[in-house]
Amino acid sequence: MKTLPIVVLISGSGSNLQSIINSIANKTLNAKICAVITNKADAYGLERAKQANIPTEILDHRQYPSREDFDAQLTKIIERYQAELVVLAGFMRILSDGFVAHFYGRMINIHPSLLPKYRGLHTHQRALESGDKVHGLSIHYVSAELDGGPIILQKTVPILADDTEKSLAQRVLVEEHIAYPKVIQWIAQGRLQLIDHKIIMTDNA
């Protein structure tokens, strides 16, 4: 099985990036992170990448006059690394339609809610305020609709009576760190395809 070349896009601490790095290191994920790209120069995920000897790129969105100009430069960087999969791991940018179309079927995102519930931000707080009994995460292909692409995998987490936003977020994150490398491995194994906006899973692993 060939090694899947990926780039990981982050804006923050990069804990999901770390789970991918760890899974590659312990040989449960057959991928190579060609680069970690961020729009925030102070993102701690850059330090995680450097510790793992992964090339990093900082692309400050404030230096570009429009979303499209930023995304055009981002596309050039991703293409330079010849990545076959773009992994969004806490990348806090709304992507332009052109960028999404260019990478459609080759770009995945992880979102801390059971989509289609709670698209956007503050998902844990919204789940608590709604009195939900379960919460969780969704991993999906990225489409032009915010947090709206075809869902690959969801994991549920029970909401406890004494949960706070922080405690709930922490339990969801534990599941994220297990689920994201697993889905990337499915793609590396050729088990996962997106055909006519539908996800096809095979067992040829």
Question: pLDDT (tens digit, 9 = 90+) per residue, 4-57?
Answer: 999 999 999 999 999 999 999 999 999 999 999 999 999 999 999 999 999 999
Pairing of strands 85-88, 107-111: parallel
User: Catalytic residue positions?
Assistant: 111
In this structure, the number of other CB atoms found within 10 A of the CB of residue 160 comes to 11
What is the per-residue pLDDT for 204? Answer: 61
3-state DSSP call for residue 38?
strand
Sorting pLDDT into bands at 50, 70 and 90, what band is 159?
A: very high
Q: pLDDT tens across 179-193, in order?
A: 999 999 999 999 998
Q: Which residue, among 101, 121, 102, has the nearest Cα to 111 in the 3D structure?
A: 121
* Upstream peptide bond of 181 is cis (omega within 30 degrees of 0): no
Find the CATH number of the domain harbouring 45: 3.40.50.170
Q: How many domains does the chain have?
A: 1
What is the per-residue pLDDT for 202? Answer: 87
DSSP 30: -
Query: What is the four-CA torsion angle of 52, 57, 58, 61, rounded to 10 degrees?
Result: -130
Residue 125 lies in domain: 4-201
**Average pLDDT score over residue span 111-134:** 97
